[in-house]
Amino acid sequence: MNHAQIKPFAMNWQPYLRQAPNWFRDAKFGMFFHWGPYCVPAFENEWYSRNMYAKGLSQNRFHVETYGKLSQFGYKDFYPLFKGEKFDPDYWAELMVTAGAKYGGVVTEHADNFSLWDSKVNPVNAVNYGPKRDVVGELEKAIRRQGLNFIATFHHQWLWGWFMSSDPNADVYNPENEIYYGKALPLEANRYIPWRLPDDEFNRVWMEKVIEVIDGYDPDLIYFDSRANIIAEQYKHQLVDYYYNRNSRSDRIISYKQEDFPDGVGIVDIECGRFAAVQSFPWQTDDRLEALRTWCYVQGARYKPAAKIIHQLCDVVSKNGNLLLNVGPKADGSFADEAVAELKEVGRWLADFGEAIYGTRPFAVHGEGINVKDHDFDVSQIEAQTQKGVFDDQGEVEFSADDLRFTTKDNVLYVIMLGKPEQIPIQITSLRQGTGLGSQVIESIGVLGGAPDLDWNQNSEHLEIILKGPMPSNHANVIKISYRK
């Protein structure tokens, strides 16, 4: 077993430096789904498959009390209960469209070694077990029928050391079950320190799974969850070479977290976090609709209100980012009514105000207002991510109509108010006369969404907008400023 420390990148990655494709930059909003056997117990979160084996954790206690001893009922015994009898890929894709998403996909494989595609590399897949369907394949076709870009997300690097137990009689230590759980490893293999890096066989299978999805479903974007840094560099290098050069397509891109791939090879993704200001490069944050700390459906599920998602989307887009939003289906493939309702509300807002989101580019500054200088969620320094809200949602803030976010398109500047303004007039300091930002000649100012008439004037202190009636949305409203060409 390899006990070496992770080394800096040594291979030549220059041929694989790639800009974000225009489809990604224009889309702004995507969705994906965490779905697997862990949805059957639906207890606490998708780490159930690991934590059910960890004595002392609540998921372990729940499992033993509900299903019995780990030697008698292991994670593999959830496979036949994961039936997906209500799985309707067309409905899933339609839900994405209803919410206003422009790209999306499904977790092809989480850390549990259960592949959701028709895999020849891994016999533990959704065609041989559970739903007995090619979930990835059916969903890929449905998503493309809706005119959306298809993505595939991979989390299976976490399998290395995932299934371990303090119970020596647990089924993970039965050699006959290695096909389900992988090799039994020392406990510290799932920890970051000391490093116990994967062997060549694990690296090879990790790569072959991704290549199989590339060949079978041709995703427009491949997303890697964190911990891809444990995969040997030569396997990642070979994989990126294969993906970027297959069929000579230049509009494919990978998305990765932290320092798992060299800078510039793909799109940086920040989990449950964001930057504090406009970035020169396109980036992405993946976050979840779920209000609890879970990425899958769980008992007693609660969901964030649509307004919070809308505010997050506007804030992220103003800083040159995209939002990839997760929602977890139930084990049968259906969705909670509350989740659907919030997604529909997000979609209604985007139907009225999406002009200020889709196809836009960032302004010189991302905005102004109460939270414009709130650096609690600034993750521009990789080493400080865990202290800045990347994985623990500390980066969430409450916005109001006093918070403004800017986006641009052609000769138009959109000013997004993250709420319904109560104070009139609205004063935008960034656009005052005598500054570079306020030097362009304004041709007209209006409000999106059938909103009221207005008057405006610009002076050395601010651009002042006087509304003659209430704004249309309780969530966020948009002022459209057109400049003379």
Give tens-digit pLDDT for 231-243: 999 999 999 999 9
Taking the C-alpha atoms of residue 470 and residue 66, their distance in angstroms, rounded to an integer, is 54
CA angle 173, 174, 176 (to 5 degrees): 135
Q: Based on the number of CB atoms within 10 Å of its own CB, is 211 exposed (0-12), middle (13-18) or buried (19 or more)? A: middle
Question: Once rounded to an integer, what is the mean pLDDT over residues 199-207?
Answer: 97
- Which range among 74-83, 341-350, 451-460 shows the weakest confidence by mean pLDDT? 451-460
Q: Is the pLDDT of residue 378 over 70?
A: no
CA distances in angstroms from 244 to 6, 17, 95, 259, listed in the order given: 25, 10, 30, 19
Residues 6+ apart with CB under 8 A from 383: none
Taking the C-alpha atoms of residue 102 and residue 70, their distance in angstroms, rounded to an integer, is 42
Nearest to 192 by CA among 222, 221, 227: 227
Residue 373: predicted pLDDT: 58
Taking the C-alpha atoms of residue 439 and residue 186, their distance in angstroms, rounded to an integer, is 64
Torsion, Cα of 294, 295, 298, 301 (10° steps): 70
Question: Once rounded to an integer, what is the mean pLDDT over residues 149-171?
Answer: 94
Taking the C-alpha atoms of residue 362 and residue 375, their distance in angstroms, rounded to an integer, is 19
Q: pLDDT band for position 190 (50/70/90)? A: low
Q: pLDDT band for position 390 (50/70/90)? A: very low
**Domain limits, CATH 3.20.20.80, in the chain:** 14-335
Residues 6+ apart with CB under 8 A from 371: 397, 399, 403
CATH topology of domain 363-483: Immunoglobulin-like (2.60.40)
Q: Is the pLDDT of residue 393 over 70?
A: no
**Domain limits, CATH 2.60.40.1180, in the chain:** 363-483
Taking the C-alpha atoms of residue 223 and residue 152, their distance in angstroms, rounded to an integer, is 6
Query: Is 51:64 a contact under the CB 8 Å cutoff?
Result: no
Query: Is 484:441 a contact under the CB 8 Å cutoff?
Result: yes
Cis-peptide, bond into residue 168, ω within 30° of zero: no
CATH number of 14-335: 3.20.20.80
Query: Is 257:244 a contact under the CB 8 Å cutoff?
Result: no
E strand or H helix at 408? strand 404-409
Q: Is the pLDDT of residue 83 over 60?
A: yes
CA dihedral (63, 68, 69, 70) positive or negative: negative
Q: Is the pLDDT of residue 374 over 50?
A: no
Question: Once rounded to an integer, what is the mean pLDDT over residues 44-59?
Answer: 96
The structure's pTM equals: 0.94
CA angle 37, 38, 44 (to 5 degrees): 165
b/e per residue, 270-282, with b = 16+ CB within 10 A?
bbbbbbbbbbeeb
Q: Is the pLDDT of residue 117 over 60?
A: yes
Average model confidence (pLDDT) across the chain: 92
Q: pLDDT band for position 384 (50/70/90)? A: very low
Helix axes 337-353, 89-99, angle to 10 degrees: 50
